[in-house]
Structure 1
Amino acid sequence: MFDTLALTAIPEQDEALRAPVRALIEEALAGVPANARARSWIGFDAAFSKLLGEAGWIGLTLPELYGGRGLGAFARFVVTEELLAAGAPVAAHWIADRQSAALILHYGTEAQRLEHLPRICRGESFFCIGMSEPGSGSDLASVATSARRTDEGWRLSGQKIWTTQAHNDDYMIALVRTSGTPKDRHVGLSQLLVDLRAPGITIRPITDLNGEEDFAEVFFDDVLLPPDALIGQEGDGWQQVTTELAFERSGPERIYSSMALLEAWRRHLIRNGHRDAAPMTLLGSLTAELATLRALSIAVTSLLEKGESPAIEASLVKDLGTSFEQAVPRLIADDLGSRPDEPIDPELRRTLTYLTQIAPSFSLRGGTREILRGIIARELGLR
Structure 2
Amino acid sequence: MTAARFEFTPPVFPGHIESLREEVRAFLAEERASGALPRPNYVSMLVSLPFTKKLAERGWIGMTWPAEYGGHERTALERYAVTEELLAACAPIRAHWVADRQSAAVLLRFGTEEQKRKYLPRIAAGDWFFTPGLSEPDAGSDLASLRTSATKVEGGWRVQGTKIWNSNSHVAQYTLLLCRTEPAGEDRHHGLSRFIVDLSSPGIQIRPIINLAGEHDFNQLYFDDVFVPDENVVGELGNGWNQATTELAYERSGPERWMSSFRLLAELTEALGEDASPSACRELGALLAEMLALRQMSMSIAVMLEQGRAPNQEAAIVKDLGTCFEQAMVAKARDLIHEEGIELHGGARRLGEVLDNAQAWSICYTIRGGAKEIMRGVIARGLGLR
Cα distance between partner residues in 2 of 1:110 and 1:220: 27
User: Counterpart of 1:61?
Assistant: 64
8 Å contact 1:144–1:181 — kept in the other structure?
Answer: no
Deviations 1:225-276 (A, max 9, x none): 2221111111110111111111212222211011111111111112xx5241
Mapped partners of 2:40, 2:270: distance in 1 = 11
Say which SS state the counterpart of residue 33 (structure 1) adopts.
coil
| Residue of structure 1 equivalent to 2:319 | 318
Supply the distance in 1 between the matched residues of 2:94 and 2:229 (Cα, whole angstroms).
28
Letter in 2 for 1:34: P
The alignment status of 1:39 with 2:44, answered yes or no, reads yes
Give the 5 Å matches for 1:1-383.
1-30=4-33, 32-36=38-42, 38-40=43-45, 43-180=46-183, 185-270=188-273, 273-340=274-341, 342=343, 344=345, 345-383=348-386
Distance 1:18 1:340 in 2: 35
Contact conserved, 2:192 with 2:238, CA < 8 A, in 1? Answer: yes
8 Å CA contact 1:142–1:182 kept in 2: the answer is: no
Q: Taking every aligned residue pair, what percent have the same amino acid on both sides?
A: 46
3-state DSSP class of the match of 1:154?
A: strand
CA distance in 2, matches of 1:167, 1:96: 14
TM-score, normalisation: structure 2: 0.94
Output one character per residue of 1:280-316: Cα deviation in whole Å (capped at 9) or x when no partner.
Answer: 2212221222122112222222323433222222211
SS at match of 1:9: coil
Q: CA deviation at 1:134?
A: 1.3
The runs of at least 4 aligned residues of structure 1 exceeding 4 Å deviation read 181-184
Structure 1 counterpart of 2:238, which letter?
G
Contact 2:252 2:319 in 1 (8 A): yes
Report the CA distance shift for 1:57/1:175 in structure 2 as closer, same or farther (over 3 A).
same
Amino acid at match of 1:313: E
Go from structure 1 to structure 2 and tell me whether the alpha carbon gap of 1:343 and 1:51 turns closer, same or farther (over 3 Å shift). Answer: closer
Amino acid paired to 2:317: L
SS at match of 1:224: strand
Q: TM-score, normalised by structure 1?
A: 0.94
Change (3 A) 1:189 1:29: farther
Deviation of 1:6 after TM superposition, in Å, equals 2.2
Tell me the CA shift for residue 184 of structure 1. 5.2
The answer to whether the Cα contact below 8 Å between 2:149 and 2:160 also exists between their aligned partners in 1 is yes
Match of 1:362, SS state, is coil
1:163-207 CA distance string (max 9 Å, x none): 111111110001011121587511111001010011110000001
**Cα distance change on mapping 1:341 and 1:335 into 2, 3 Å:** closer
- Equivalent position amino acid for 1:210 in 2: A
Amino acid at match of 1:336: I
Distance in 1, Cα, partners of 2:7 & 2:121: 38
- Report the secondary structure of 2:161's partner residue: strand
The Cα of 1:20 is off from its aligned counterpart by 1.3
- Structure 1 residues 223 and 275: CA distance shift in structure 2, 3 A: closer
Deviates more, 1:232-241 or 1:331-340: 331-340
Q: Post-superposition shift, 1:104?
A: 0.8
| Residue-pair matches, total | 378
**C-alpha separation between the residues in 1 aligned to 2:116 and 2:11?**
33
